[in-house]
Structure 1
Amino acid sequence: MPGMWIMWWLPSSDGPPPYPQAARTRPRALGATRAARRPAQAASRSPVCPATTTASGPSAPQSGPLGKTLSGVTSISRSSTDAPVPSYSRRVGHPLRTARRPRPRWRATAASRPGAGRGRRGDHVSKPSRRSHVTAVCRRLLVDWHLTSSYVHDGSAGVLGLERRSVPMVRRFLFSALAAAFVLVWGSPPAAFALDATRTPAAPSYTVTLTSNAAGSTWTGHESVTFSNPSADPMPEVYLRLWDNAHGACPSTPITVTNVTGGTPSALSVGCTALKITLPAPLGQNQSASIGFDLSIVVPAGADRFGRDGSYNFIGNALPVLAVRDGAGWHLDPYTNNGESFYALISDFKVTLDHPTSLLVPATGTSVDTPGASGRTITTATANKVREFAWAAGPFVKTTSTTTTGVTVNVYRTSAISASSASSMMTTAKNSLVAHAGRFGAYPYGEADVVLDNNFWFGGMEYPGFVLDVISSTALAHELAHQWWYGIVGDDEYNSPWLDESFTDYATDLYNNIQGTNCWNNVTWQSSAEKISNSMAYWDAHSSRYGTVVYTYGKCALHDLRRVIGTTAMQNLLKNYAASHWYGVSTTAEFKAAAQAATTVDLTSFWTTHRIDG
Structure 2
Amino acid sequence: MSDRLRVLATRVAALLSTTVLVAAGTATLAAATAQASQGNGGTAAASCTAAQVVANGGFESGTMPWTSSSGVVTSGGGQSAHGGTFFAWLNGYGSAHTDSLAQSVTLPAGCTSASLSFWLHVDTAETSKTTAYDKLTAKIGTTTLATYSNLDAAAGYVKKTFDVSAYAGQTVSISFNGVEDSGLQTSFVLDDVALDVSGGGTTPPPTDATRTPAPTGYTVNLTSDASGANWSGHQSIGFTNPSATPLTEVYLRLWDNYHGSCPTTPITVSNLTGGTAAALTVGCTALKVTLPAPLAQGASGSVGFDLSIAVPSGADRFGRDGSFNFIGNALPVLAVRDAAGWHLDPYTNNGESFYTLASDYTVTLDHPSSLLVPATGTSVDTPGSSGRTVTTATAKKVREFAWAAGPFTKISGTSPGGVAVNVYSVSGISSSSAQSMLTTAKSAVDSHAARFGAYPYGELDAVIDNNFWFGGMEYPGFVLDLVSTTALTHEIGHQWWYGIVGDDEYNSPWLDEAFTDYATDLALGSSGTNCWSNVSWASSAEKITNSMAYWDANSSRYSTVIYGYGKCALHDLRRTIGDTAMTTLLHDYAAAHWYGVSTTAEFKAAAQAATTVDLTSFWTQHRIEG
| TMscore range, shorter length | 0.7 to 0.9
> Is this contact kept in 2: 1:155–1:332, CA < 8 A?
no
Residues 1:556 and 2:568 aligned together: yes
- Residue 476 of structure 1 aligns to a residue in which SS? helix
Residue identity in the other structure for 1:35: A
In structure 2, distance between residues paired with 1:151 and 1:302? 39
Are 1:258 and 2:152 matched, yes or no?
no
- Equivalent residue in structure 2 for 1:221, among 225, 233, 238: 233
Correspondence 1:84-483 to 2 at 5 A: 97=41, 149-150=43-44, 194-483=206-495
**Does the 8 Å contact 2:216/2:239 carry over to 1?**
yes
Structure 2 alignment gaps of length 5 or more: 1-18, 52-107, 112-201
TM-score (norm 1): 0.72
Contact preservation (8 Å) 2:213, 2:334: yes
Q: 2:25 touches 2:473 (CA, 8 Å); kept in 1?
A: no
Q: Which has the larger radius of gyration?
A: 1
Q: Note the C-alpha offset of 1:195.
A: 2.1
Q: CA deviation at 1:403?
A: 1.1
- Residue 598 of structure 1 and its aligned partner are, at CA, apart by 0.3
Matching residue of 1:573 = 585
Deviation at 1:151, TM superposition (A): 7.4
Size of the aligned set, in residue pairs, is: 462
8 A contact 1:358–1:395 mirrored in 2: yes
**Does 2:28 correspond to 1:33?**
yes
C-alpha separation between the residues in 1 aligned to 2:508 and 2:567?
14
Residue 532 of structure 2 contacts residue 569 of structure 2 at CA under 8 Å; is this kept in 1?
A: no
User: Which of 583, 605, 611 is the aligned partner of 2:617?
Assistant: 605
SS state at 1:520 partner: helix
Q: Secondary structure at the match of 2:450?
A: helix
Residues 375-411 of structure 1: per-residue CA shift (max 9 Å, x gap)? 0000000011000000000000001111122111010
Q: Residue 533 of structure 1: SS of its match in structure 2?
A: coil
Letter in 2 for 1:209: N
- Contact persistence 2:27–2:473 (CA under 8 A): no
Shift of 1:33: 2.0
Structure 2 Cα separation of the partners of residues 462 and 36 of structure 1: 18
Q: Per-residue deviation at 1:204?
A: 3.2
Higher strand share: 2
Give TM-score, length-normalised by structure 2.
0.71
Question: In the alignment, which residue of structure 2 is the partner of 1:514?
Answer: 526
AA in 1 matched with 2:350: N
1:554-603 CA-partner distances (Å, limit 9, x unpaired): 00000000000000000000000000000000000000000000000000
1:150-190 CA-to-partner distances (Å, cap 9, x unmatched) read 57888669x9999xxxxxxxxxxxxxxxxxxxxxxxxxxx9
Provide Cα deviations, 1:33-85, integer angstroms capped at 9, x if missing partner.
2306765979xxxxxxxxxxxxxxxxxxxxxxxxxxxxxxxxxxxxxxxxxxx
Decide whether the 8 Å contact of 1:25 with 1:35 is kept in 2.
no
Change (3 A) 1:337 1:192: closer
Percent of pairs identical after alignment?
Answer: 72
Shift of 1:520: 2.8
Equivalent position SS for 1:434: helix
| Superposed displacement of residue 30, structure 1 | 4.2
| Shift >4 Å, 4+ stretches | 36-42, 150-157, 159-162, 190-194
Report how far residue 29 of structure 1 moved: 3.5
RMSD across aligned positions (CA) = 2.3
Task: Return the letter of the residue paired with 1:336.
Answer: T
Cα deviation for residue 445 of structure 1 reads 1.2
- How has the CA–CA distance of structure 1 residues 153 and 306 changed in structure 2, closer, same or farther, with 3 Å as cutoff? farther
* Aligned-partner Cα distance in 2 for 1:312–1:161: 41
> Which among 481, 490, 496 is matched to residue 502 of structure 2?
490
Cα deviation, residue 25, structure 1:
6.4
Secondary structure of 1:532's match?
coil
1:27 deviation in Å? Answer: 1.4
SS of the aligned residue for 2:534 comes to coil
CA distance in 2, matches of 1:244, 1:499: 23
* Residue deviations 1:200-243 (CA, integer Å, cap 9, x gap): 11133110000000000000000000100000000000000000
- In structure 2, what residue type is equivalent to 1:257? V
Distance 1:570 1:291, change over 3 A: same
Q: 1:194 to 1:376 in 2, by over 3 A?
A: closer
How many angstroms apart in 1 are the aligned matches of 2:319 and 2:577? 44
CA distance, structure 1, for counterparts of residue 205 and residue 400 of structure 2: 33
Amino acid at match of 2:388: R
Instruction: Give unpaired runs (5+ residues) of structure 1.
Output: 1-23, 43-91, 98-147, 163-189
Show CA shifts across 1:235-275 (max 9, x none).
00000000000000000000000000010000000000000
Q: Is the 8 A contact 2:236 2:303 kept in 1?
A: yes
Q: Are residues 539 and 228 of structure 1, via their aligned partners in 2, closer, same or farther at CA, if it must alter by over 3 Å?
A: same
Q: CA deviation at 1:328?
A: 1.0
